[in-house]
Structure 1
Amino acid sequence: MASLEQYHAKRDFKRTAEPAGKVVRNRKGEAGGIFVVHKHAATRLHYDLRLEHGGVLWSWAITRGPSLDPHEKRFAVHVEDHPIDYASFEGTIPKGEYGGGTVIVWDEGKWQPENDPAQAMKKGHISFELHGHKLNGLWHLVRLKPRPGKTRDNWLLIKSDDAAARPGEDILQEAPESVKSGLAIEEVGEGKTADGKKPRVWHSNRRSTSKAKAKAAKQLEFIEPCLATLQRDAPPGKEWLHEVKFDGYRMQAQLADTKVRLLTRTGLDWTGKFGGAIVAELGRLKCTDAIIDGEIIVLVDSGVSSFALLQADLSAGRTDRFLYYVFDLMRLDGQDLRKEPLVERKQALQDLLGKQPDSSAVRFSDHFAEPGKVMLEHACRMGLEGIVSKRADAPYRSGRDLSWVKSKCTLRQEFVIGGYLPSEKTGRGLRSLLVGYHEGGKLHYAGRVGTGFSMQSTNDLKKKLDALKAKTSPFDTAVPKGKGPGKGVVWVKPELVGEVEFRTWTSDRIIRHASFQGLREDKPAEEVVQEKPKAPAGRTDTKAKPAGGKAKPASGKGEISAFVKSTGAANTIVKLSHPDKLLWPQEKVSKQGLLDHYALVWPRMQQFVVNRPLSLVRAPDGVGGQRFFQKHASAGMHDKIARMKDPIDGEEILFIRDFDGVAALVQLGVVEIHIWGCTIDELDKPDQIIFDLDPDEGVDVKAVRAAALEIHGRLDALSLPNFVKTSGGKGYHVVVPLKPSADWDEVKDFAHDFARALEQAAPDRYTATLSKKARTGKIFVDYLRNGRGSTTVAPYSSRAKKGATVSMPTTWAEIEAGLAPNAFPIGDKTTLKQLAKADPWADFFKQGKPLKRG
């Protein structure tokens, strides 16, 4: 039964102009009705989603506002029902009163539930469609599992991945104004109205609890930090958020008036150790006081934090590389925020930081809402230390707590045992093992292993080692002393092999945080080497012969036709009408010239386009005329362009089976061939990942080339084979072959996380956000090509661009040497020379690996 009892109890209608309202029964008895999203600049900016049901407006406070990105799960607090009259309000509630601040109608329209809304509310999962000015398509409200002793009704608002979804876009930034007045919330707050009349002002009887100015502290008390509990697996469930685990110094920032202090996790004042940049930026934040939680780190070139570099910089007095990643806010303007849910504290922190410059030394540590297992896998693939998972609705509790869980990435490999340190404890055989690996015919020391032993296993292992005692060290260099092994080492013959789990390698190739897993009696000691990622495909020259024989240097476009005719490669049953028609008039490339190009590259190209769903860019009157995108059949289409139905949505899919199909595309005036990242036989199992580097206007090609090489290095580090091709335009395409196993969501999630990791590591260079505003002066790492139905230009395809260029597969060595992204025009001498070389992508699919989960 709908009720306004809570709404009325909070308001004195003798003092407030808010509508008292009453429950309005739906005369038609239909589910659904109006919806409204209020943008409300109260103590903190938030959005209120209201859905008409049972004569009232069901209401949720959306802390960060709705998002059109299906990957973004927005925290929503279910609040009291509001009267229908409330939907149209736009105006100001005076500060100091209940809900004080400015309100605008950010969006409005109709909503339609998929099922009975009352039952869905009871169940805790409401699926519904919105038909508004800004919000459309299918949405979900999902209730979070309540915490013991808590009464707050917490939900998540999630956009479904449908045609109305806009991954990577921020509708809140792109369309901030009211749909009712067209005014910004700041303008309404200043008293402006669309009709020039006096603005509406509402009053309420609730007193302000904020006395920030009166409580400005001289010096704030230290808050013991919340510590994460180590667990092997990241927690599942939608109630968890996941952050990158940094490898640095945990640091609490305290801001009181103009003074800033940086305190360690035990409360020591380390303000003077980190230079002036971090302190200066914190000092410029607009607040009377604040207590912030975060971690100070140093990033290596790959974008991963390095504790070794951090310590080295502190020892050397170097301060220019320190970054302070902040992830929690415990106090702000005299108010203790520790009882507030995590997502609200993080939103308040992000609001406090505001828009930070890309070079900022103080940075917001963003979070991800994907499943914990997936996030941990992706973090490990990217070379990160691990993740920290936090309950979205949890308060901030000092000490170790299960609402924060850390899951770490680990490495494993075999090592040769070269010695041990006996235990000083009675009954325990040994304290630690000294291990190494073979390199250049010698045994190289790799560090100590001091955990992972049981009482029985340590005694058994000591007996075996004692039988192999030696007088001298088997390692090629002296074993470090100091904190490492020193006096009392027992050397042994390097014959036993142990499996070791460890966190990472140091810069001098010593393992960190190692744990013994057991002996490997199946592996000879002399075969143990340091395990490294395999060499990437692009750096290994293949012995495959050039397709169609070696092309002679061409002096003009006509030579390609002569070469093709001499090899007989252009045979097709498809007849071109008007073969001399120029598709690129300025470059003098005709339909026949395009067909000759495809005949020349066909032996290389066919594995990438045959039996794959296609989308086409057509320019029947040439690239200077009308161009359009086509993915379904049309009248006059040759039967060599095959068709099938998508089994999921029944949509028509185009594909080709042979060279005749390509000839039929040319006959249609197709100037670009775009492919799905899968075959027609496995539509839901992609066989490649693509990263399309799309630079903003004015970004130098050298920066784009450097970006491609950085991605190459990161993928190498993940042992993922990767290939590169020119886009034919302004960028490069980095492509990873896969053995089809993962589904589209898994592949797209990986690509998205990879792109966001690049962005977070170098926000001045990269963005993973599609909007033009976010891309200003940066390179957009386009991961969106990896969704089901999304396409990318095929290898060797022509481009509808100036120069009649080709998207050309190449080697990483050529990219390093300065190869331009538009280096290969159709039929040009440069292109023919490139095609005379060995095929750099010959074994592309042979090198594919499964995108493993775990």
Structure 2
Amino acid sequence: MATKKVAKKTASTKQAKPTAGDAVDEQLARYRSMRDFSVTAEPSGKQKSTSAASLPFVIQKHAATRLHYDFRLGWNGVLKSWAVAKGPSYVVADKRLAVQVEDHPMEYGGFEGIIPRGQYGGGTVMVWDQGTWEPHVDVNEGLRKGSLKFALNGRKLHGNWTLVRMGGKAAQEAKPNWLLIKEHDEYERTPDDPAITEEMPDSAVTGRSLEQIAEASTHVWNSKETATEGQAWYRQRARDADAASGGTANVTAPSKKTPTFNNASLAKLPKEKLPDFIKPQLAQEATAPPSGDEWLHEIKLDGYRMQARKQGSRVQLFTRSGLDWTHRMKSVAEAIKTLDVQDAILDGEVVVLDEKGISSFANLQASFEKNEKHPVTFFLFDLLHLNGHNTRGLPLKERKRLLHTVLNNENDGLKLSEDIAGDGAKIFRSACELHAEGIISKKADAVYHSGRSTLWLKSKCVLEQEFVIGGWVDLSNGSRGVGSLLLGYYDDAGKLIYAGRTGTGFTQRTHKLLRDKLDAIETKSNPFAAIDAAGRKDAHWVKPQLVAQVRFATWTADNLVRQAAFQGLREDKPAKEVHREMGPPSAKHKSIAPAETKKDVQTLLEPAAETKTTTKSAKVVSIDSKRPKRAAEQQTKTTPSLRLTHPEKVVDPESGVTKRELMDYLWAVSEEMLPHIAGRPLSLVRCPEGSDHQCFYQKHVNHMLPAGVGSVMVADKKGGAPEPYITLDTAEALAGLAQMSVLEIHPWGSRNDNLEHPDRIIIDLDPDESLPWSTVCEAALEVRDVLKSAGVESFVKTTGGKGLHVLFPITPKHDFAFMKTWTHGLVQAMEQARPELYLTKMTKAARTGKIYLDYLRNERGATAVAPYSMRARSGLPVSMPLEWKELTSNTRPRYTVHDFEEWKPRLKKNPWRKVFELKQTLNAAALEHFAPKAKRS
């Protein structure tokens, strides 16, 4: 390739440092590799669909006749392109005009340099942003109809966006006019926030400005050669002024300091290029803190988890999801700049400390949202990269020692999060007594492991107190009950102070009980001394007579409870005696001795002497292949305090189910659903606009997934490079899928630790709608009998549609190819015996009056909807496990998310629990009968 030849010529020595020009060469080569001239014409001709997992996007800042931004989406081998005059905006109200221009060759997406004057697009071109994009709709249909919804995962742009083609006079223009609009999500900004184009004006590849790119003139693109299959660009060595322009790939000005570390372990560590971002390690919640010398404990800080990336004098601060917050924490960035290292990635928590030395989320929130002046401190607790070396393979205690040498103790903005050795239970009690949020316990000898695991455990102190009920809000679906309660407490002057809402913790019984009591004391008068518009919205007022017990995380900057959950009514305390409690949390932990209470927070933040441990090891809630313990044996099943934007958004118009109700449902069924999906690759059906709009499958990991969702590397069927597939194993991760409007969950038939050998096989009975339900039931029973003769016990469930799934667990000794052949033989035998009823081919035209016996669920990569999963259909029906004796009714059963309280008792007698107890194999006769020629493995 021409690019490689150029690269050889430009390298003066093997040790030559990469220049900005080298970085552009690399970019051009990468984008060129994304096209295949043998199958894709550029910009026109036959097209080939591109995998959604690898769709590139690029935004080029282009100083031509006038400055503008070229927004380009890779699709079918070309770059679909729009010229956006003002550039993209994170403000939802900004509808940026985007004029659609001709498709550009894929290779052009990597170009940064000069287009000669007089040629089309003559001027300076910068790669302002780049990354991948994820369509939320059918792309070809969206382009045709003029509505394209998608997510961006770039260096600068993230989250959900929409391109909408304009009508009216705009539709009469020579080139189609569209609008580029930011959608509501966690990445949106307010009009008062800095514009992303002004905040980050320079190249995402080389860090250069337009002026530096123009001065260097390293690369030239000849527009007249764009449509040819040759190379339209060349590198101009005579004017290659990289050094003069100060353009070094991904770096601004290099650090003047050249520190050295006299640490033998650093020299032995593997070398690596400074990563752009490392997915953080997360803690699993524990029912009790662990004990033992192998654990180190840290005070749990209530702030923002942050990853600092230092490259020379350039510093970036990323949230746990990879969002760049450097502009929001400039003082922290400046403090990181002072560290005597060339490059590093540091993990920690940004907090505001109160007068007692406790991290205050309320003050931190006020700093960001109200511009209050509170000193911000970055507590560092891990070191992930240092001066070209990967430190993540070191034990935690070694990484901490290395981190200690990196920190500049003279900088008040940076502090080491010291570890505390000793009895975890004792340290936890001390932390709670001092009103800290809790502790984080970490395995001292463990390497850094991205994602949630039991190597880190969190033990949280609980805040809980009584509140006066001053009103309520109705359920969004119109049912009689309580959507949320309006809470308050009395101050010293006898005024009822508004303290926020609680919208979780209700059961079907408490919905009725509360409404009966609230209806009896409803009044037209607002009982609160003051309440904002958000608090008053849709409120019904009541006389302040009832007292509720509420558990919550903390107080916000507005003096409102955060993540509050209703625990019950208190009849033992008059409403007038309810005041804001500032004392210790009410979590039921054994009190420590008076002498121990004299310790202050500073003592806990410093290393402590090791103490003899006496408590038992912690019991961590985790999911494996075995059924988890019952709710009574587990930690509380109260709906988790997970982040949820727009919780009242309706995800199913027919039933009125909201995102909050979907999260509540997933949490409630997690104990029974998780064993069927944990530790397996998953495909998710996402419906961002609800069940009545277009949905799409997602099986690969991206930055939009909720906390706790992990990945497993899976090679494709053709033996290609492994890709990260979605997997999860916690109730929090499962419930968190509601944030993404996930309406179906489909697991593989094999587990992550043995991907090629299935441990459960499914026969899918898909009947013609004209068939009575009794016929479908008889067919399922016949499948059961055939399987019984093969030596295996089977189980049945509804699909959430019109059919049934018959499943049998099996010892994973045969590969997918064999089991697909075997099940094909089984259904063919049934079809031959009763051709008037059964069909084994997918042809829909031949299905009239028949049942399609689908065996294709048993090939590698195929999935089937999980037990208790909702379906992305009107009404949100549920795939429900059944007892075989239930297949006697003439009426097809229907279970929905909305009706969960009615069928919730079924969870207690789950007929599929035996699935995990059976260790069974097919008998020899069945193996030979249904797959006589198949190769067994």
Which of the five TM-score ranges fits, normalised by the shorter chain? 0.3 to 0.5
TM-score by length of 2: 0.34
Structure richer in helix, relative to its length: 2
TM-score normalized by the length of structure 1:
0.37
